[in-house]
Amino acid sequence: MPVYRMLMDVSANVLWRCGAAGNRQHRAYALARFLAPVLQRTFGPLRPGSPPYTAKIFNSLMTRFSRISPGFALDVAIDNRSLVTAALQQRNGVLVATVHSALALAFHGIRDGMGRPPVFVGNQQDDMTGWNWGGFEPIVVLDAEDPTVLVKARSAAENGRIVVAFVDFNEPAEGPQFISPNAFSLAHSMQLPVLHMLCTLEPTGRIRIHLAAEPEHLANPRQKARAFAQFIETLSGARIDIRRPKDTGLQGNATERSPGRGLRSRVSNGNR
């Protein structure tokens, strides 16, 4: 939508230049809530399974902030921040399991300068500029539709990288949401530490990163997937079942997803 992109470009530049620097996220979220009903009436409802207009607008503005000033200071609160420090010290890699949400991009920014950037699994676009929220380094994305994505994710973990895996999928593409055990199979076979992550947006525009260590002594990938689903259910109230997707990718059915749409979820916020 050219009109939408132009509106976001202008809005981001105005928000960036007006008001206190520390309140940019708050102003972005306030504008998103104001514009959401206007765009709803103008463009009509979004397709089923898409995040609401408020999330779409907020994430669009954040991406443009990152283009205006790479490495801008994110307003982020982290539950169990010590887990991030411990993960960055792991020599054999870590799996961070999460659900599709553009807010997960904040994980790139919070560890910028503290080691190699994490590897995300999503759908690549021609222009990834701006997706490195809060970071100076470009975001690293493994294409979820690449048949060799599991091999590449394994290689990244073997080289000490944090792999952020979006383990939820919809089947069919706009149908019920499931958790795939594929990424947990990879972690189980490599004996990787696993962190559970859910990113949410507070009324002030602050991004909250909920982190938890995987319970110990889980015997198989399905138990690992169930433990993650329970983590999401506890925080969101959603009920998510476990199902292995029809493809062999790390995240499951990625049809028509991009890092903007691709980092999204019915459980959390996301979209470009």
Residues 137, 64, single domain; the answer is no
Q: What is the tally of structural domains in the chain?
A: 2
Inform me whether the pLDDT recorded for 255 exceeds 50.
Answer: no
Lowest mean pLDDT: which of 63-72, 81-90, 172-181, 184-193?
A: 172-181
**Shared domain check, 98 and 51:** no
Pair 61, 137 in one domain: no
Q: Is residue 268 in some structural domain?
A: no
- Whole-number pLDDT of residue 258: 33
- 43/121 same-domain check: no
Asked if residue 267 belongs to a domain, the reply is: no
The reply to whether 177 and 90 lie within a common domain is: yes
Question: Would 269 be classed as within a structural domain?
Answer: no
Q: What digits encode the pLDDT tens for the residues 219-247? A: 899 999 999 999 999 998 878 888 777 65
Tokens of 241: 């079942």
**Residue 272 within any structural domain of the chain:** no
Sign of the alpha-carbon torsion through 220, 97, 149, 137: negative
Among candidate residues 10, 40, 68, the one where a domain is terminated? 68
Mean pLDDT, range 187-200, rounded to an integer = 93
Highest mean pLDDT pick, 54-63, 162-171, 246-255: 54-63
The kind and range of the H/E element at 196 are strand 194-201
Is residue 152 assigned to a domain? yes
Residue 271 domain-assigned? no
Convert the pLDDT of each residue in 55-74 to its tens digit.
999 999 999 999 999 888 89
Q: DSSP label at 194?
A: E
Residues 51 and 138 in one domain: no
In this structure, the answer to whether residues 100 and 177 fall within a common structural domain is: yes
State pTM to two decimals: 0.84
The percent of residues above 70 in pLDDT, for the chain, comes to 82
Domain that residue 160 falls in: 76-262
Same domain, 179 and 53: no
Q: What is the DSSP string of 70-120?
A: TTPPP-EEETTTHHHHHHHT-SS-EEEEE-S-GGGGHHHHHTTTSSSPPEE
Residues 197 and 242 in one domain: yes
Same domain for 231 and 96, yes or no, is yes
Domain finish residue from 37, 68, 99: 68
Q: Are residues 7 and 101 in the same domain?
A: no
Domain's final residue, options 18, 44, 68: 68
C-alpha distances (whole Å) from 3 to each of 6, 10, 256 are 5, 11, 22
Residue 49 pLDDT more than 70? Answer: no
Spatial distance between the Cα atoms of 83 and 158, rounded to a whole number of angstroms? 19
Nearest to 104 by CA among 255, 236, 211: 211
Same domain, 132 and 42: no
